[in-house]
Amino acid sequence: MSFFVVDNLSCGYKDGFMVNEISLNLPKGAFAGIIGCNGSGKSTILKGITGELSLLKGTILMDDIDILTLSVKERSKRIAVVSQFIEKYPMTAEEYVLMGRTPFRKAFQFFDTPEDREEANYFLELTGISHLKSKLITQLSGGEQQMVALACALTQKPSLLLLDEPTSHLDITYQSKIMNLLHRLNEKEGLTVIMIIHDLNLAGEYCNHLTLIKDGRIVIQGEPKDVISSQNINTVYNTSVYVATNPISGKPAIFQVSEKWLQIKN
């Protein structure tokens, strides 16, 4: 059964880049990735879904509800967004995570409730950063800041989590921490995840649905094994790669091949 449906979406910038005829149909509990080279339109699609960019045409349904007709508050109870870079406000990690409770605040509520703090502390613990709760955002590493942003989004208690390149600029430790946490939440809690992701090996390993974009249009979408092929990657990225199978997970794995070895092979 369809949970999140993007139908024939077109949006973009006036007299600038556009994405056209984008359609997605995802069941609840999908772990979906949007992949493509720089400038292909991945972030533009995300901005169209969140309402940051107005749609020229198309609809976006979640549980058969047009999400763009909802108030920002009601939409925020259903969908949370994690941006690539955290806004570095002069506040502690706990204060930042508590911002995720904003959609649940009542009129004229100026202070956090015990329930707000309980939820924030739960997700600080879940993301493994409770020991950093009193530290200022500016004192945290890039990986720690991304975990704070993720904890804040989860505190919204969303059904759908949207992420814009959550693992970019992070070392392998934080890449694994973030992806494994999202995978657990996806499998155990049924959280639906849609992420823009540059690392094709992470995309192939963790996602169960991939959409490959080029020049603002979909090239192919489906299971990772069908999307990540040497031919598709060469077509979209104009780069020669060797695609094999991870011997443990059975998921597609990509190996880049240097120009030297391509010349020797040919």
**Burial level of 168, CB count in 10 A (0-12/13-18/19+)?**
middle
Q: pLDDT band at residue 139, thresholds of 50, 70 and 90?
A: very high
Q: pLDDT band at residue 89, thresholds of 50, 70 and 90?
A: confident
Would you say residue 257 lies in a domain? Answer: no
Who's near 13: CB < 8 A, 6+ residues apart? 44, 53
Would you say residue 266 lies in a domain? Answer: no
CA distances from 67 to 11, 25, 51, 104 (A): 16, 15, 9, 18
- Domain holding 147: CATH number? 3.40.50.300
Would you say residue 84 lies in a domain? Answer: yes
Can you give the pLDDT at residue 3?
96
**For 99-198, where are the alpha helices, taking DSSP H only?**
114-126, 142-154, 172-189
Would you say residue 251 lies in a domain? Answer: no
Q: What is the pLDDT of residues 157-216, one digit of tens each?
A: 999 999 999 998 889 999 999 999 999 999 999 999 999 999 999 999 999 999 999 999
Would you say residue 206 lies in a domain? Answer: yes
Q: What is the pTM of this model?
A: 0.92
Would you say residue 20 lies in a domain? Answer: yes
Would you say residue 228 lies in a domain? Answer: no
Mean local confidence (pLDDT), 135-163: 94
Would you say residue 234 lies in a domain? Answer: no
How many domains does the chain contain in total? 1
Range of the domain at 143: 2-223
Distance between alpha carbon 239 and the CA centroid of its chain, in Å? Answer: 24
